[in-house]
Amino acid sequence: MNTRKRKVLDVARSLFIQKGFYETSIIDIIQEAKISKGTFYNYFTSKNECFIAILRESREEASIRRYELAVDQDPRDIEILSKQIAVLMHINREQNLLQIFEAIYHSNDKDLQKAVMKHHLQEIEWLASRLVEVYGEKINELSYECAIQTFAMIHQTLRTLKIAKEHQINPESVIKMALRNIDAIIPRMLETKEVIINIETIQRIKNSVEQIVLSKDTVMHQLSGFIEILKDEDPKDGKEFAHYILHELQSEPTKVYILKALLTPFRKAFSNTTHAAESREIANHIWRLLEIYAQHSEE
């Protein structure tokens, strides 16, 4: 995604928060971003598509933070899992997405409601996968039900505390409580084999969630293009990290531990530049590629 398109997204997000999603028009976005109407429609077919792109960016940010939290950590560590769950909640608050979600929930906009639901289904799919990492393949068929129950406990507890005007809400403590409860429930579920979210339902969820297909060649092409647009004034260490990562991706066999060590400093080197979003996207794609490598090595 080019820098100008990302600027339009940032402007749109700010206006959605300030004025409200439905009160913000495409003309408002165009004027604030100082672009032409044609330029906007080159990027997005509608305001709804613009918001969906914002949702994708928030998931991308959540994904990169979660990968970085897990570096050199035991994937079965509940403390790590609780921190990872909290990531998207913090991002939603940082970007004030919760009030936009509320507006959409109370609207008759079926397309956006579907987009928000898909956003939540992706979160359920992610947690289901992580719970299998924590508890093993034996809970495979229970994982989605456990993920849904975990989020239900978290969100209903936080909602109740908010209604009660409890200002000292600590999401992490609520998340840990929910995970402790799920830990106690899983043995009973394994014993009874009673689930509502069955295999057919799980498959429908998987089919409705957007799957990003990645290959090493695609990632290397993206990184090469990124390197080409860097200028003399861009961070020197960031450029060096980018070249190191590309060299390692081109090497056979790829040294996974070296890539893991390089990705966070690469992203952070560009964090306060116009390349921040693209460097994050590239790092995220490489993390996903490494995840695919790990899955194949286990088979």
pLDDT category of residue 291 using cuts at 50, 70 and 90: confident
CB 45 within 8 A of CB 87: no
CB 242 within 8 A of CB 265: no
Place of tokens 């990290």: 241
What does the alpha-carbon distance between residue 197 and residue 145 come to, in Å, rounded to a whole number? 6
Q: What tens digit of pLDDT does each residue of 78-107 get?
A: 999 999 999 998 888 888 788 888 888 888
**Region label for 96, one of left (φ > 0), alpha (ψ between -120 and 50) or beta (otherwise):** left
What does the alpha-carbon distance between residue 94 and residue 90 come to, in Å, rounded to a whole number? 6
Span 1-45: which CATH code? 1.10.10.60
pLDDT for 203: 82
Q: Is the pLDDT of residue 297 over 70?
A: no
pLDDT for 1: 57
What does the alpha-carbon distance between residue 148 and residue 198 come to, in Å, rounded to a whole number? 13
pLDDT for 151: 95
Among the ranges given (80-89, 160-169, 193-202, 205-214), the one the predictor scored with the smallest mean pLDDT: 205-214
- Cβ within 8 Å of residue 130, ≥6 positions away: 75, 81, 84
Buried/exposed 90-108: b ≥16 CB within 10 Å, e otherwise = ebbeebebeebbebbeeee
pLDDT category of residue 133 using cuts at 50, 70 and 90: very high
Q: Is the pLDDT of residue 138 over 80?
A: yes
Note the residue count of the chain.
299
Q: Is the pLDDT of residue 118 over 80?
A: yes
pLDDT for 204: 79
Report the share of the chain in percent with pLDDT over 90: 55
Choose among 51, 92, 95, 61: nearest CA to 277: 61
Choose among 277, 296, 287, 297: nearest CA to 57: 277
Q: What tens digit of pLDDT does each residue of 13-40 get?
A: 889 888 888 899 999 999 999 999 999 9
What does the alpha-carbon distance between residue 64 and residue 270 come to, in Å, rounded to a whole number? 14
Q: What is the pTM of this model?
A: 0.85
Q: Two tokens at 236? A: 């020197």
Q: Is 213 helix (H, G, I), strand (E, B) or coil?
A: coil
Choose among 65, 94, 128, 6: nearest CA to 287: 65
Mean pLDDT of the chain: 89
Residue 102 CA: distances (Å) to CA of 94, 107, 116: 16, 9, 10
Q: Can you give the residue ranges of every domain in the chain?
A: 1-45, 51-208, 216-298
CB 21 within 8 A of CB 104: yes
